[in-house]
Amino acid sequence: MSRNEVKKREENTTYIATISGGKDSVTMCDLLLKNGYPVDYILFTDTLHEHKKMYDYIEKLKIYFRSKYNKKITILKPKSTFEHWAFGVLERGERKGSIRGLPNLSNGMCYWRRESKVKPMEKFTKHFEKVVYYIGYTLDENRSIENYDKYTFKFPLRDIFKMKEDDCKKYLIDQEMENHLYRHYSRTGCDFCPFQSEQSFYMTWKHYPETWDKMKKIESKLLKLNNVVSSTWFMNHRTCDDMEKLFKEKDKQGSLFDFSDEPLKDCFCKI
């Protein structure tokens, strides 16, 4: 796919850049706009459980994209709440009648990703005749794109800008657009995402006590109920209390997982 192929606007087509606030999607969006590629909408799907620092960062991005490119960020939200699904009863399948509980790695796609990201996106785009989505996959991500319709989904970081994840991180630092969360996490998502690593949970426990307390409260309520499919955030039925003991031991050895002591470059001064 050449740059000219992507820059050429197809008739009756809506071009959407999806951003999560993560380094890859933000870099992708900025490069698309900077290099004159068609972008009709910048979409951020709010899970309602982003880190507070992510919401702060999105506010900065709103100002930046409006000021530099006269583009606004459109924010989509789910119709229901995470708690509604976590404490809801399954209506079909082998576990019919059970309380759904927390998203489980063995169940494929996270149900909250489906409800908070996929469905709002589908509702927003259903009235457009044709849609092209820009997705922020990098060269070194181990994700298959073979199942994506090549006429509907474009991967500019891989196919045009030839960028790896570290390139995206460096790009944002150089542009003074760094996201504070990358000082503690290698990836971003829901603040309580059960699919994150032990390292990420450690960072949540250490640096984001409000999120950790929220996780403990939800887990505690589920553990007191009967017939719950998944009641703990961690695999092998380890509870938040179990993990706290482990994290306290790690903490005695120093903050082993801290990523950087360099000053944060998040002033967006290079607008």
Full set of structural domains in the chain with CATH: 13-186 (3.40.50.620)
Contacts of 80 by beta carbon, 8 Å cutoff, 6+ apart: 115
How does residue 61 score in pLDDT terms, banded at 50, 70 and 90?
very high
- pLDDT on residue 15: 97
Least confident of 13-22, 30-39, 257-266: 257-266
pLDDT of residue 265: 47
pLDDT of 6 reads 55
Mean pLDDT of the chain: 87
For the residues 109-117, what does the mean pLDDT come to? 90
